[in-house]
Structure 1
């Protein structure tokens, strides 16, 4: 009988110890709402994967201790199918029910909807290159994505240098696509080029782009400005070539060239393509290990979506630790002190942060020439002066610093 009682006591004591070990760390909830189904699902999933990978690493390293109390991070992901109303409802649920300190979101239209939530009691970790959204004065929004205006300017320059003069646009619908078409048109017209047709398409719901492409190709363009999420952008290229188009493609920054090339396989179909650059080709020490780790975890290739969201989550965690607070406003206040993050530890570099919430990030570009990708062009557009550029260039951990150049936005 005594042995039995001792046995019961041992079980109770063991259970108590186990419960205490499990319960020793509370959770800091990180929210994510984005397209996890439909044509934009791969794009949304890569963004979510980046946040998730960072969260797992942070927890494996012991989480964070705030004023003597230990916390782990808990990521909750919700599918909004690129719908602004659903995204806003998801964010409300994440903040009000799950007590999320931050909500990650990867689309301009859905981010704009989330910004309408009153109270400013959570961070909006936006993945968007449309920086006009930062100018609205929301105190809790941040992004690490370079301004698309720089891409539009540089892509117009490169297209003009190729001898192109007539452009037809088949770009994704929505606030992001609208902004791209407007800014690119201004740059192109400023050079003396012509926009011969504008035929937007919904890259998040459509898979057949033949109607828009037929109308565009009837205008006899030298090149097509195209893009949205990478997967439907591949379909646009394939369908354009199948319809006999032999001109060039200028691909807006959401679509990633390495993904496009991997799916299409035939590089001749991409000859002359002007696009952003593949992060895997950026000469930063952290790139190979991160690429291998991401591939092992998700059976997918590293891209900008996973990398920048990973990096933003790491910056968020640093800021939480520095602020020693779970108050979102305090965390936002200390976020500039969480920078820089450089290429010896992460596969892209965030140098500093301005008052609007932009984490200064370089951009990279590539072209397809003779069936191969060119060397990446690493560009810093955010420095205001040559002296600032030199300072940030010295901060970079690039193994080829000579390739870094300064291109101020006009």
Structure 2
């Protein structure tokens, strides 16, 4: 008996809590959805005038925050998880780049579709559990005599649902209907709140089309990674064949000649020995450069920060490096970040005409961020054949993004982001 009473009390408490939560969702959701929908509509309409390029990223950020708040509430109140699949926007990107990247994100477009949905269907489904808790109060009040405020008994002065209240008899019918609604709320309010969040998830969660696009992108980046690896292996083979291997063969031939001349022509033998020693030193240097190109020892031993500092020291430009890393990323991520940064710095040396470069490397919010800024002539583009397209493909293998801000006359800022955790 005690167990049954406890269960009834718990279900009654769940009903009241669900009703209160539904009312809060309806009120806050309506206000937030309407406000953000109006702001988004106006901001998007102002893009051709240029004003919307600045305002749209801020408005879309607010829309994302509002949708994420609903995701958190859905998980906490009903245990329904709504995945957020936003593409990262590089820190320091220009307003135009931020606007383009955010509007091109399918997750952002789903948020914009969800806003009018939330202010209509979402409002109704959120109000249902609240109505099943609050509306019976009116029916009981009518049955207890409140009906006299609305009628003098000669005409229908009030309707409760489908019951016309004109006297005490019909007021009791209204009370009976309220009891039925209260029983319905007792059984259905938590379920109806879950229905609201399930419908919200159907709109906000990634669809099959986006998952298919995701699979296509992953397949493409994996193919690029395999092609890049194969090209790198061919380069290593070519460098070994044309460089160190050729020098070692020549050194062997010189040593064979020295062996034949050491008694007949000692002077000539000494010259060949000196030449062989020089060839061995050159071969060793080439092998070290080759190994450094495959995976720099400083990267493996000291981590990405020190490897970037060592890379900057070899530049023919004045460089400033800022590193803020609380740990180390996985080795493949460090390697991708190092060689991507190396390619960007090489571009700055070859094409920018700059005499100074700034490198910033830090980790925040689950993102490894690398920024390279130079004071060159600008005009860099990803599709200009300067190696930035290869950097973008390299980062894409790890779900990373690349943003380039390079107006004519400079400065040029290249920002790279890779999602990762630090050990």
TM range (shorter): under 0.3
Which structure has the bigger radius of gyration?
Answer: 2
Q: Given the two structures, how large is their TM-score scaled by the length of structure 2?
A: 0.20
Judging by fraction of residues, say which structure has more helix: 2
Higher strand share: 1
